[in-house]
Amino acid sequence: MSMQTLLFSAALGLAASALPNAGSAAYVEAGSAPPPPQQEAVPEQRAGYIWVPGYWGWSGSQHVWVNGQFVPERLHHHWVTARWEQRGPKWYFEDGRWESDDETTHE
């Protein structure tokens, strides 16, 4: 694991292994847009796992690339990829997470 990835994980208060946990969402604010995504070769599919693509994270002072990885599948869940969203002059990061496939609405 690179030092930049380690710093990014610490900045979010997450261990690298905690990335695929359900219900964990980290929000980070940055003053600059992330660079374009890096091209990653997606490895051959592994039974019982999904590929979570790499993304630009934040180290507290700069964008850092976090490599994609395989994570164990979760029945009745789907992976929501990490993303950046611009709101006014700031950029906000939302970490990747599992969401339930249950489409029950609460009205």
**Whole-structure pTM value:** 0.68
Residue 105 covered by a domain: yes
Residue 21 covered by a domain: no
Total count of domains within the chain: 1
Residue 19 covered by a domain: no
For residue 62, give every residue at least 6 positions away whose Cβ sits within 8 Å of its Cβ, in sequence order, or none: none
d(CA 8, CA 30): 13
Residue 63 covered by a domain: yes
pLDDT digits (tens, 9 = 90+) for 23-70: 444 678 999 999 999 999 999 999 999 999 999 999 999 999 999 999
Supply the range of the domain harboring residue 6.
1-10+26-33+44-107
pLDDT digits (tens, 9 = 90+) for 93-106: 999 999 999 865 44
Distances (CA, A) of 82 to 41, 65, 92: 18, 12, 11
Q: If you search the block for the tokens 């976090």, which residue do you land on?
A: 66
